[in-house]
Chain A
Amino acid sequence: MRILLVEDEKKLCELIARALKAERYAVDVALDGQSGWEMADAYGYDLIILDLMLPIVSGTEILQRVRRKNQEVPILILTARDLTEEKVQHFEAGADDYLTKPFAFAELVMRVKALLRRGSISRAAVVRIADLEMDRLSQQVKRSGRKIELTAKEYALLEYLATNPGRVFSRTMIIEHVWDQSFEGLTNIVDVYVRHLRRKIDDPFPTKLIRTVRGVGYGLGESGEA
């Protein structure tokens, strides 16, 4: 899988490239719009990550040119501007996803995986993490065979953490997926729910599944790049 990253902020470029390479993607980097367009034109990438504010040729322009030529390649827009109209405008122009700075790198990687449809989101009816078992149809949770009662929000939180075991999710990501944007800024709502979830999932058992990485967020299952 080969990804083209067009972003004029050099440091950010390096970081994203590093994060994606850690996921075993091949990453090509373009630091301005002109070379970005030439590279996109010359090679059939599997995914293009595009910043909007670029020197020489703007991201919007590249998006339009690519779409005129090639309908297939998924394009993820990366931008510091997040007006709703602008988002709509770019989705209409053919963007597949939109990520606003500042974003968590875990979020970026998840979205990239989702766009490349590479097994990041498990579609299986039953998800197993260690001895935890989640039935997505009946929304039932068992650990070591014992049934655990969860409220709807606790279940939603657990299910979201389980979409990508081992990865750490930031509080902002969790709020956006489990609650809605109105709750942004109230990071302690996540902490409170995780604490409640822990009481039910982890406290009665010797091995702890929910992991806290201070300053980053929460994850489910063993850490590691598996």
Chain B
Amino acid sequence: MNTRSLSFRLVAWYAGLLTVVFVVLGALTVLFLLHYLDANLFDIQARRARQIADTLLAAAPRTGEAAVGRQIEVLYSPETNDRLIRITRADGHIVYASGSPKDRSFDPSQVPLPPLTRDGKFNRKESLPNGALLVAAQTYTGSDNSRYVVEVGVSNARTEATLRRVLIMLGIGLPITVCVAVAGGFVLVRRALRPVEQITRKAEDITQHNLSERLPVVQTGDELERLSISINHMIARLEDSFQSSKQFVADASHELRTPLTVLRGELEGLAQDTQLKPQTRETLGSMLEEVDRLAEIVEGLLALSRLDAGEAHSEWVRFDLAELAATTADQMSLLAEDKNITVVCEATSGVNVEGDRARMKQVVVNLLDNAIKYTPNGGRVRLNIKTEDGCAVLDVADDGIGIPQDALPHVFKRFYRVDGSRSRDQGGAGLGLSIVKSICAAHGAQVEVASVPGKGSRFRVRQLLVNNTSVHAHP
């Protein structure tokens, strides 16, 4: 899993925050609950203590202290209710003390006596061996100035049990909740980000050759929809500017054709005059050569802009690339012989591809011409056509001067020259390889170059094969 991905980071943050919030909330709840339960218990005991003081002790001068104890037994039965009830006189004499509670949650004899000098009511927590005991005390001063302290106590074992249960619930519930929330969050984030995935894939597919295509607009009404719409607007603007630059090249090339025709016509007329001085003839010839080069550049640019416009589909046929390459190599053999270069052609027949035959021939011609041009006299050019992984692979390799590493990415660019002065002598408009690239692009083929300076270069064209079955039947 990619830990830098947006979905992972979102979910991780979300899970972390959720855990922190839950832990804090749980802790606060437990603290509050503890406080509330204690206060509540104290309150109940304190009320009871006041009752005893107000009713039973108030009657004690009439009924006698012993009667108070009996009445407490009858009214409150502290042992059965697991309560401690104790009445102590100010002089330390215990008027009444309840016995051991039924559940043995505390031992009454171990509960220390209250501070007898304090007035009013006060609560305290006594730590006993069996657990804490909450004791609420209430002082009572009778009409005869006799002072008593009434204590009502209860073990807080039940509160602790409740708290323990809450803690267990939190301990189990919290991780489960976080897990469910993380899983849900992950699903939600993935769903929310799925359009991003689509947009990314589509955006990678869009190149200068299919700028008319658009990203899928995700109709979610959210930021992603806005993003995809504005990226689409951007592509539209790109398309416009590409279109107008292509149109400009095409228009300019067309406009140049007529003046070039005139120029050439005038010069040709002059050049054929037999009365000319040799020097004038040379000058005219040189001018005509430059006019030819201009015309060649114009034609190359037009060919490129037409390929960009996708015109190559006009004559789409199935043909044998190996056969095409072999015949082309044969037609160009004299060109190689002239420089004493051996052209080796290795081809297995039946490498069937689909496309514009004339255009693909141009690819072979341009690549071979290039190879022959940059191979020194007596060198070797190898042409190899084979099939590989469902692709037709055409290799043109030479043992010529090679291309420097830093120039490799640029060799298919228009008018690019590795080394201006040297290449210019070899003629050409500097468009041959970009035409190769454009033709390949129009055929869905890839062209790549590898080179070792001083050792030679290899151009490789890789094009999808069409299924061979029907072709074997007609060899």
Contacts and interface: CB of A to CB of B under 8 A. Distances in A.
A binds B: yes
Contact of A168 (B255, B272, B292, B338): B272
A184 B369 CA distance: 11
B287 A187 contact: no
B308 to A, nearest CB: 14
Given A153-B331, A181-B358, A192-B334, A216 B272 contact: yes
Given A215-B271, A215-B285, A101 B428 contact: no
A83 interface: yes
Overall SS of chain B's interface: helix
B429 interface: yes
A180 interface: yes
A130 interface: no
B265 interface: yes
A223 interface: yes
A138 B143 CA distance: 158
Interface residues of A, number: 44
A183 B330 CA distance: 13
Interface string A5-32: 0000101100110110000000000000
A185 B299 contact: yes
Given A103-B261, A105-B265, A184-B299, A213 B358 contact: no
A177 interface: no
Contacts of B267: 215
Nearest to B290: A215
Contact of B266 (A15, A153, A195, A213): A15
A212 B328 CA distance: 27
Contacts of A214: 271, 281-282, 284-286, 288-289
A15 B298 CA distance: 21
A186 B328 CA distance: 13
Given A84-B314, A182-B365, A192-B334, A105 B288 contact: no
Given A185-B428, A223-B274, A104 B262 contact: no
A195 B364 CA distance: 24
Contact of B300 (A15, A185, A192): A185
A188 B265 contact: no
Given A83-B306, A189-B332, A213 B285 contact: yes
Interface string B230-264: 00000000000000000000000011011011101
Contact of A15 (B265, B358, B427): B265
Contacts of B295: 102
Interface string B94-111: 000000000000000000
A221 to B, nearest CB: 14
A101 B260 contact: yes
Contacts of B300: 185
A15 to B, nearest CB: 4
B126 interface: no
Interface of B: 254-255, 257-258, 260-262, 264-269, 271-272, 274, 281-282, 284-289, 291-292, 295-296, 298-300, 302, 306, 311, 314-315, 328, 331-332, 334-335, 338, 358, 361-362, 364-365, 369, 427-429, 432
Q: Which 4 A-B pairs have the closest CB atoms?
A: A215-B288, A214-B285, A215-B285, A101-B257
Given A15-B266, A83-B306, A215-B268, 11 more contacts: A15-B269, A18-B269, A104-B264, A171-B292, A180-B361, A185-B300, A185-B429, A214-B271, A214-B284, A215-B288, A216-B268
16 contacts: A15-B269, A16-B265, A80-B258, A81-B254, A84-B314, A85-B314, A102-B257, A103-B261, A105-B268, A106-B268, A182-B364, A187-B292, A189-B332, A189-B334, A192-B338, A215-B288
